[in-house]
Chains A and B, each alone.
Chain A
């Protein structure tokens, strides 16, 4: 089953698994158009209650380098309704967290800023060995504005969240695993396949309280 065509997203459902690919390579920047298309897609994905899983990834070598600030900042500056514009960017992603089936981000290469916030709205995160993470917003005199502060802190403790968010420094896959930001590291070539294997053995509806149990029981860690 193939569904609609978008400019910034590649979206299809295959074997009851939804594949959402950020499709503006090489950096897959999250542009205003991307957020708008994510909003358009929201109704469709929410309606697909029989999906077994949703897998989010980036086209090419990177997940995404995050929001396009050169486009976003002037947009906010001249937009009188900037707050509701930002609110709609938030809801374009935040609903992913409430979906009844597992939402898995598969991360290769860079996963920075809003892109990490997007990944933090998914229930599970798998990454390649060469993946690089960070919330660099404070170094541009901003803050992570799409729920990243709270979710990072909830996964990794306040101390580490403050350290990484205030310094804005990047960290690698191994550190992300130690921090609890990702659930497994796999060779990047196998990532999507591993996510599919995980999704297929997943027992029905996703329930938040069971996250840790699912991770320990169904996520095969690389050795």
Chain B
């Protein structure tokens, strides 16, 4: 089993970098493209302020390895649990409440697109291509794509992409709201990395997570509960800030 997960991880200046490393296509070996335990260990670093996801080489990811998927079905494998593990992984990433940025170049298909859709921000190179080709194989997007794609681009465009499986380029992807920013091909990683740095550098981890948590609550909790949570989080931060300020003014008085 060794080597089946070709995912690399490093932390650079407080930003965690997930690299899909099975070039050229960067197929995801299975829906849970990295063991949840590894991901938990990696993201446990308390100084982590954001996560960047990209593919090694020319492409982001061509998606799931369908040959392997169909061979598992004939093996009578527990396919549902197999797919659920991928969904759990994406939910875990979102649940870290750290900003997730996908730096996309080349192909971003199927499961690769679903991974990108789980991110808050998608930066794409001019040469990026997007597709949701599952229906062409008699399948549907199986890792949240049927939910996140319409949330992101609206029902009409999501249906068109999923039913036709047609590929769209970066310009069209931006027009329909699938991606946020287009940059030259060689700049996509640096742009995404610098954007994450700029957003998070000056802030304590707790404040970053509070913002992301509040944003997430708006879609995962009933409205009333989301408001109560927002109140609680604000209150907690405000009390800390009030204490910090009064300690500071004490200190200034002492110094004077």
Chain B residues near A94 (CB-CB < 8 A):
227
Q: CB of A83 within 8 A of chain B?
A: yes
Q: What is the CB-to-nearest-CB distance from A33 to chain B, in angstroms, rounded to a whole number?
A: 18
Q: CB of A145 within 8 A of chain B?
A: yes
Question: In the complex the two chains form, is B211's CB within 8 Å of A158's CB?
Answer: no
Stretch of B28-36, B74-82, B233-241 lying at the A interface: B233-241
Known: A83-B232, A138-B203, A167-B198. A149 touches B180 (CB 8 A): no
Chain A residues near B240 (CB-CB < 8 A):
141
Complex: chain B residue closest to A85, CB-CB: B235
Question: In the complex the two chains form, is B199's CB within 8 Å of A166's CB?
Answer: yes
Question: In the complex the two chains form, is B241's CB within 8 Å of A140's CB?
Answer: yes
Chain A residues near B199 (CB-CB < 8 A):
162-163, 166-167
Chain A residues near B241 (CB-CB < 8 A):
73, 140-142
Chain B residues near A141 (CB-CB < 8 A):
203-204, 207, 237, 240-241, 244
Interface string of B219-256 (1 = CB under 8 A from A): 00000001110111111011111111110000000000
- A interface bracket (residues with beta carbon within 8 Å of B): 20 to 34
Question: In the complex the two chains form, is B208's CB within 8 Å of A166's CB?
Answer: yes
Stretch of A10-18, A74-82, A209-217 lying at the B interface: A74-82
Question: In the complex the two chains form, is A145's CB within 8 Å of B207's CB?
Answer: no
Q: Which of A72, A77, A149 contacts B215 (CB 8 A)?
A: A149
> Which residues does A use to contact B, with CB under 8 Å?
72-74, 76-77, 82-83, 86-87, 90, 94, 138-143, 145, 147, 149-150, 153, 157-163, 165-167
Q: List 5 A-B contacts (CB under 8 A).
A: A138-B207, A141-B204, A143-B237, A145-B230, A157-B177
> Which residues does B use to contact A, with CB under 8 Å?
99, 120-122, 177, 180-181, 195, 198-200, 202-204, 207-208, 210-212, 214-215, 218, 226-228, 230-235, 237-246
Question: A76-B242, A138-B203, A142-B238 given. 9 additional CB < 8 A pairs?
Answer: A73-B238, A87-B231, A90-B231, A141-B237, A143-B237, A150-B218, A163-B195, A166-B200, A166-B211
The 8 closest A-B pairs by CB, nearest first: A145-B234, A77-B242, A150-B218, A159-B180, A159-B121, A166-B199, A73-B242, A76-B238
